[in-house]
Amino acid sequence: MIETYLLHLFIIACLYVILTTSLNLAIGYTGLLNLGHIAFYAIGAYTSSLLALNFGVPFWIGALAGATLAAIVGYLLSYPTIKLKGDYLALGTLGFSIIVESVLKNWVSLTRGPLGLPGIPKPSIFGFAIDTIPKYALFGLILAVLVYIVLEIVVRSPFGRVLQAIRDDEMAAKTLGKDTFNAKAKALALSAFIAAIGGSYYAHYVTFIDPTFFSILETILIFSMVIVGGTASMLGSVAGAVLLTLLPEPLRFLPFPSSIIGGMRQALYALLLVLVIRWRPQGLIGENTFKKFKNGVKR
């Protein structure tokens, strides 16, 4: 029993590693303060679930379809938000995630609205059924490692260097001949693609999803994971995801009703976020994006 519980935590930690590293690509490396990441996660989860439930589409095709859809949406989202920077982009993308959530709630004929989608089949990849918890944990590990490697290679590549240059000074990057719109849109698309894979992975694990899974609380959680772990560090994101997944778990064993424990969980995230920003603004691992450089003097 205890192994099942621990494996479950491991599976959830893998999910958050996928979501956090992909969000860090946008926030930490490209400087896009994206608060709409959870919408891409939702698109992935719903697309592959609906394809599986309605048409019996195999998991990997559904997951790829969801990821592709999310990537296209991410790319298109760049058009209306092109001129937005910093806080304004954060509000724009937050608005986007609220729109997606309310579509999920209200497009009842497609998504069954608040009733959610029960009975999502467990995945089977090329005839290999991933139907037990240990198998799913292994599957999660493989996915998380793959995502980590892909993202680490991208951010270290010349393309990744352009993204970081855009983060530091977009105008300067433009005067060096970089098509910054194109680079930002592609980064957002890749970030969305990976988040959607995370969505499919999660939906087929829990076998039931409803719109409350994709609310602003979830956005705040993965955002906190990025900040606590450290922006512009993929390893930091892994650390943040694992830490914030495990940290509130001991609360479960306290003799309080679950309604109180839920609130305590949120309070714990907030507390950790405050502590990190006050004492270690660069995060557990990672570069300091809050510190501004000016004329050689660190402020």
Partner 1 sequence: MSLTVKNLKRSFGGVEAVKNCSFKVKQGKITALIGPNGAGKTTVFNIITGIIRPDAGNITFKGEPLIVLQTHEIARLSIARTFQLLKLFPKLTCLENLMIAHPGKDEKMFDCFLKPKKIRAEDEAKRARALELLKVVDLERYKDEKAGNLSYGQQKLLDIARCLATEANLLLFDEPVAGVNPIVRERIKKLLKELKQQGKTILIIEHDMRFVMDLCDEIIVLDHGVEIATGTPAKIKKNKKVIEAYLGVDA
Q: Which of 13, 63, 89, 183 binds partner 1 (CB under 8 A)?
A: 183
Is there binding between residue 122 and partner 1 (CB under 8 A)? no
In the shown chain, the binding pattern of residues 254 to 293 toward partner 1, with x for contact by CB under 8 A and - for none, equals: ---------------------------------x-x---x
Integer Cα distance of 211 and 201 in angstroms: 16
Integer Cα distance of 148 and 142 in angstroms: 10
Residues that bind partner 1 (rule: CB under 8 A) add up to a total of 36
Integer Cα distance of 105 and 46 in angstroms: 12
Is there binding between residue 71 and partner 1 (CB under 8 A)? no
Is there binding between residue 298 and partner 1 (CB under 8 A)? yes
Q: Which of 6, 61, 115, 153 binds partner 1 (CB under 8 A)?
A: 153
Residue 299 Cβ vs partner 1, minimum distance, rounded to whole Å: 10
Is there binding between residue 197 and partner 1 (CB under 8 A)? no
Q: Is 116 exposed, middle or buried (0-12, 13-18, 19+ CB in 10 A)?
A: middle
For residue 123, give the DSSP letter. Answer: P
Q: Is 260 exposed, middle or buried (0-12, 13-18, 19+ CB in 10 A)?
A: exposed
Is there binding between residue 295 and partner 1 (CB under 8 A)? yes
- The sign one gets for the Cα dihedral 82, 227, 296, 163 is negative
Smallest CA-to-CA distance from 16 within 51, 41, 53, 44 is with 41
For residue 214, give the DSSP letter. Answer: G
Is there binding between residue 178 and partner 1 (CB under 8 A)? yes
Is there binding between residue 83 and partner 1 (CB under 8 A)? no
Which of 37/184 has CB closer to partner 1?
184
Interacting residues toward partner 1 by CB under 8 A: 150, 153-154, 156-159, 161-162, 164-165, 167-169, 171-180, 183, 186-187, 190, 232, 287, 289, 293-296, 298
